[in-house]
């Protein structure tokens, strides 16, 4: 039975899972917005999956966006969704799911449930119950909307955070997981760890709802963040998949007048995690420019005026050390390649325009790209990837420092959404894999 808790924007989902006997290692694939500059990764995935049932056939990896045949690929995706439902490859399951994801000796825990898109606003100045943590690039929504519009199913890679330092919501359920029914338990492909899912029983659901409500009691919320008791509460903050949830919201706004407020597309399937989970790590998202046409250092010198300097360093290790240990009012980030015979450098901005280095750098990159300084930009995870791509002829890489995850909620409450692509929850291979489906058509 579906339960809706309007005050906290939560609904108990009906989740579709592959029938017993399905090869789950081939079924589950990583989020579509990963490895966007590494087509060889997705070629490996295709080889592993072969003809087996797989979420690979239900998504469009962004590495293939805007390629010839995109429309036909979307038609195949939607046809495969219908086929998997009609042949009962996918079976309905009522209720929330407790998820344990293990990678590199660490296990993080989440709960899969539905969030009410009526309680979500992705604009920077939002005061909604569910908010974006980073800037939303509106140009990225239309291609995703093409895929979702007319689709029978959604498959989430969305991770939403709660700020629960007392570990009152998810952790008690995990501690009692031995008494829960195990729904799936398998290794993920390409060295991405292990995934276990448990059926959350009604008693545990009651606990989760009660604990979520306690997080947003106005008096305790105000005391927690040092704000006025009449300031709107924030319960759910986007972690990963911001543009996927924004796509769901944008499409819902387009269709709700025609379908009514009780339509399943009003609710989006997500996984919530506690920002204080020790296994959850915030990693910086680095930048790579492709087809650089102008002198980057000269362009930055002009953009940042007198408060700019760029110093060469001997290798990547030195660059990382300087960037990670820089402090004070000045901001630093690494530069890989970019011309002038330089391989590694550290850029320092004395009078930054943003509270975070990523925001200061992005302001420059937006102008540089708009003026034709490079052909395109990509956002990548991991020092090795930005180093490898940045060193290629005609490219430049920017290595950014990380941010303290404990500052996230207060920053969003006080300052609004952070600059886009500020942080990543883990490295690329730690990203959420598609496992569960939710009917939206």
Same domain, 366 and 320: yes
26 and 91 co-located in one domain: yes
Give the pLDDT score at 68: 83
Predicted TM-score (pTM) of this structure: 0.85
Examine the domain organization and report whether 263 and 294 are in the same domain: no
Q: In this structure, are residues 432 and 12 in contact, taking their beta carbons and an 8 Å threshold?
A: no
Residues 300 and 255 in one domain: no
Look up the domain containing 298 and give its range. Answer: 284-424
Residues 20 and 100 in one domain: yes
The CATH number that applies at residue 408 is 3.30.1760.10
271 with 306, same domain: the answer is no
DSSP character at residue 418: B
Tokens 């029983």 label which residue? 201
289: alpha, beta or left, given left = phi > 0 and alpha = psi -120 to 50? Answer: beta
Q: So what's the pLDDT on residue 145? A: 87
pLDDT at position 158 is 96
- Asked if 76 contacts 45 with a C-beta cutoff of 8 angstroms, the reply is no
The pLDDT tens digits of the residues spanning 218-270 come to: 999 999 999 998 899 999 999 998 889 999 999 999 999 999 999 999 999 99
Shared domain check, 389 and 249:
no
154, 292: one domain:
no
**pLDDT on residue 340:** 65
Residues 121 and 170 in one domain: yes
pLDDT per residue as tens digits for the range 167-222 = 999 999 999 999 999 999 999 999 999 999 999 999 999 999 999 999 999 999 99
Backbone angles phi, psi at 101, to 5 degrees: -115, 120
Nearest 5°: phi and psi at 305? Answer: 60, -135
CA dist 336 and 396 (Å) reads 6
113 and 225 inside one domain: yes
Alpha-carbon span 280 to 102, nearest angstrom: 11
Ranges under pLDDT 70 in the chain: 1, 339-341
Same domain, yes or no: 243 and 133: yes
In this structure, what are the phi and psi dihedrals at residue 120, rounded to the nearest 5 degrees? -125, 135
Number of domains, the chain? 2
Answer yes or no: do 241 and 379 share one domain: no
Give pLDDT, residue 420. 78
């Amino acid at each position: 039975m579906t339960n809706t808790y309007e005050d906290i924007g939560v609904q108990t989902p009906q989740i579709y899972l592959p029938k017993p006997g399905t090869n789950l290692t081939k079924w589950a694939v990583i989020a579509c917005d990963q490895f966007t500059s590494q087509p060889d990764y997705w070629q490996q995935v295709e080889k592993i999956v072969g003809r087996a049932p797989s979420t690979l056939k239900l998504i469009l990896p962004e590495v293939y966006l805007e390629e010839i045949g995109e429309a036909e690929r979307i038609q195949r995706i939607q046809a495969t969704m219908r086929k998997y439902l009609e042949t009962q490859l996918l079976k309905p399951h009522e209720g929330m799911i407790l998820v344990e994801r293990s990678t590199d000796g660490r296990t993080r825990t989440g709960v899969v449930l539905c969030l009410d898109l009526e309680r979500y606003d992705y604009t920077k100045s939002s005061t909604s119950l569910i908010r974006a943590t980073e800037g939303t690039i509106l140009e990225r929504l239309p291609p995703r909307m093409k895929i979702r519009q007319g689709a029978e199913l959604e498959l989430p890679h969305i991770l939403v955070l709660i700020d629960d330092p007392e570990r009152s919501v998810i952790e008690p359920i995990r501690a009692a997981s031995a008494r829960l029914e195990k729904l799936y338990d398998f290794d993920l492909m390409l060295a991405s760890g292990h995934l276990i899912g448990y059926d959350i029983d009604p008693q545990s659901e009651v606990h989760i709802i009660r604990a979520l409500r306690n997080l947003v009691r106005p008096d305790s919320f105000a005391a927690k963040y040092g704000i006025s008791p009449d300031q709107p509460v924030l319960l759910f903050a986007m972690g990963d998949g911001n543009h996927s949830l924004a796509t769901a919201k944008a499409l819902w706004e387009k269709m709700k007048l025609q379908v009514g407020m009780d339509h399943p597309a009003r609710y989006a399937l997500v996984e919530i995690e506690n920002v204080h989970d020790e296994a959850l790590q915030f990693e910086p998202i680095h930048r790579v420019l492709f087809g650089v046409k102008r002198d980057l250092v000269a362009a930055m010198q002009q953009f940042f005026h007198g408060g700019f300097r760029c110093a060469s360093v001997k290798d990547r290790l030195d660059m990382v050390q300087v960037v990670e240990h820089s402090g004070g009012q000045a901001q630093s980030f690494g530069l890989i390649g970019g011309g002038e015979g330089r391989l590694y450098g550290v850029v320092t901005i004395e009078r930054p325009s943003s509270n975070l280095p990523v925001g200061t750098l992005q302001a420059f990159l937006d102008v540089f790209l708009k003026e034709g300084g490079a052909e395109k930009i990509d956002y990548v995870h991991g020092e090795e990837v930005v180093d490898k791509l940045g060193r290629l002829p005609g490219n430049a890489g920017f290595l950014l420092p990380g941010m303290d995850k404990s500052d996230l909620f207060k920053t969003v409450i006080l300052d609004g959404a952070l600059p886009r692509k500020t942080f990543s929850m883990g490295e690329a291979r730690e990203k959420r894999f598609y496992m569960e489906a939710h009917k939206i058509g």
